Amino acid sequence: MTLADAIAAQTPLVQRLLDGVATIGADPPGITRDAYGLGENQAQALIAEAGAALGLTASTDAGANLTLRWAAPRPEVAPVLIGSHLDSIVQGGNFDGAAGVIAGIGAIAALKAAGIQPRRDIEVLALRCEEAVWFGLGLIGSRCMLARLPQGALDLPHARTGRTLAQSIADCGGDPARLREATPLRDPRAIGAYLEIHIEQAPQLIEAGAPLAICLANPGNVRHPFIRITGEDAHTGLPHRFRRDAALAGADLSLALERLWLDEEAQGRPMAVTIGRFHTPVARHSLTAVSGEFELSLDLRAYNANHLAALEARLQAITAEVAAHRNVTIALGERSAAAPGPMDPALIEGLSTAARRCGVNAPRLNSPGSHDANNFAAAGVPTGMLLVRNQNGSHNPHEAMDTPDLMAAIHVLAEWLAT
């Protein structure tokens, strides 16, 4: 059986797993698979069952990440890890993360069916809690694996259960005491490569008419989940010169950050600004009051560490300018960060060559999103990504990846693994 025939033969398996995780996460109108909770646990169990059927060896590390290993008879080089995540945001889509884990299963199944023996161990990773919605910190599974958890992270509360990250990890069979040692669970120097398949989070591939892309880089980010603006409550008739309006300060801050974004892109420096939360206090806001309190969240991202640092400095300056203009105080509050993730040049070339051999049109694009791949790249692991066409972006119920496009990505992945 040719590899192309073997890939096609795995379509029912891949579709069954995609449908399976959709059933597990069903939360109309979208999908919710809670990290370190029932949804993520059940999805891991489904993937582990598929791995067992292929004869893969399962293990769980101290972060409760699942690894399924296909051992090479005589490994010639360090192992390749193929990974992504199974959790979702609340009422998101089915394919963000899960498609990448399932792609690893599909690629190994196809190589086995084609009778191709690996030159190195191949491992499929189902990494925990990639989405920041659950603890206010993203990429947690890969942070655990590579000792990249920030100080205090294990004490963060779960958004639904209130249990700390340490308690949540222990509940799922992990070992928070081992994580507190702050040493990698896997030596990055002993990992040959990390590969991730992920749906694209912008319509660039729809625009290009291509089923997949070779990723060039993922952005890093700086996040402030709870920016708090404090002014002074007042009557709605208060003249403008007396006001310390926290809501208008929030608007000024947001629009100033948008101007920064447009200016940077005009200079050829890609970045993004996202205001995810933007509100006066729900318990006290009123039609007939000037709000003295306002809260918003900020995700600031860029593809280069120096650029990201420069943007963070501009954030500080803009914040001070708005606070002075509106006579309010602005506390940026809690901060988390993820390093940018440039892809390995050799893997970019290797995946491009594999795509050509498969007859697949695969342009090279930046990813709009940060992924677990960022942590592997930051740890010095050669890292590569394939982005799969997806009609409606991600983090919404309307993700629209077509299975044939995922199968094309699996073909390219398997072709690269076979060389």
Residue 364 or residue 370, greater confidence: 364
Q: Determine the topology of domain 220-338 in CATH.
A: Alpha-Beta Plaits (3.30.70)
Q: What is the pLDDT of residue 405?
A: 98
Is residue 338's pLDDT more than 90?
no
Predicted TM-score (pTM) above 0.75: yes
> Band of the pLDDT at 319, cuts 50, 70, 90?
very high
Question: For the domain 3-219+340-418, what is the CATH superfamily, name and number?
Answer: Zn peptidases (3.40.630.10)
pLDDT of amino acid 131? 97
CB 174 within 8 A of CB 59: no
Continuous segment of H or E residues that includes residue 290 = strand 289-290
Give the mean model confidence (pLDDT) for residues 259-269.
Answer: 97
Segment (H or E) for 384: strand 383-388
Whether 220-338 and 3-219+340-418 are alike in CATH topology: the answer is no
In this predicted model, what pLDDT tens digit does every residue of 190-213 receive, in sequence order?
999 999 999 999 899 999 999 999
Radius of gyration for the alpha carbons in the chain, expressed in angstroms and rounded: 23
Please write the tens of the pLDDT for every residue from 85-107.
999 999 999 999 999 999 999 99
1 has a pLDDT exceeding 90 = no
pLDDT confidence band for 419 (50 / 70 / 90): confident
- Tell me what pLDDT residue 39 has: 97
Name the band, by pLDDT with cuts 50, 70 and 90, for residue 75. Answer: confident
Torsion of CA 34, 198, 206, 209, to 10 degrees: -160
pLDDT at 353 over 90: yes
The bridge status of strand 329-331 relative to strand 57-60 is unpaired
3-state secondary structure of 63: coil
- For the chain, what are the domain ranges? 3-219+340-418, 220-338
pLDDT tens-digit profile of 243-258? Answer: 999 999 999 999 999 9
Percentage with pLDDT > 90 across the chain: 95
- For helices 11-25 and 403-418, give the axis angle rounded to 10 degrees: 120
Residue 393 pLDDT greater than 90, yes or no: no
Query: What pLDDT, on a 0 to 100 scale, did the predictor assign at position 339?
Result: 87
Query: How much of the chain, in percent, has pLDDT values that exceed 70?
Result: 100
Convert the pLDDT of each residue in 214-243 to its tens digit: 999 999 999 999 999 999 999 999 999 999
Task: Using alpha carbons, select from 174, 199, 322 the residue that is nearest to residue 250.
Answer: 322
The strand ranges marked E within 185-256 are: 193-199, 212-215, 217-218, 220-230, 234-235
What's the CA gap between 311 and 272, in Å, rounded?
Answer: 10
What is the residue-averaged pLDDT of the chain? 96
